[in-house]
């Protein structure tokens, strides 16, 4: 994966977080799980969280919102 592709995915993930769009987050994770390897996804996630470090998503920090929603998606996937 190129740096340019990684940057585009970081910006998409940041946008999803700022909008608190659970549906888009689910789609983002679903698509990326097929086409992005784990180390690249981890880089995208870590960089997104650094960018959003001081942003708020409602009453919660954006990184907290993101991690909570990713955990919920993971739990839902386990029960399916």
46-52, long-range: CB < 8 A, 24+ apart: 47/6, 47/10, 48/10, 48/13, 48/14, 48/17, 51/10, 51/14, 52/14, 52/17, 52/18
Domain ranges of the chain: 3-79
Tens digits of per-residue pLDDT, 27-79?
Answer: 999 999 899 999 999 999 999 999 999 998 888 999 999 999 999 988 877 66
Angle 12-64-37 from CA coordinates, rounded to 5°: 45
Q: Is-above-0.85 flag for pTM?
A: yes
């Amino acid at each position: 994966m190129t740096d340019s592709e990684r940057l585009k995915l970081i910006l998409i993930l940041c946008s999803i977080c700022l909008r608190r769009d659970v549906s888009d987050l689910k789609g983002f994770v679903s698509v990326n799980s097929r086409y992005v390897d784990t180390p690249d996804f981890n880089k995208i996630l870590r960089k997104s969280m650094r960018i959003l470090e001081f942003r708020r998503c409602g009453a919660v920090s954006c990184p907290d919102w993101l991690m909570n929603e990713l955990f919920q998606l993971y739990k839902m996937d386990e029960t399916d």
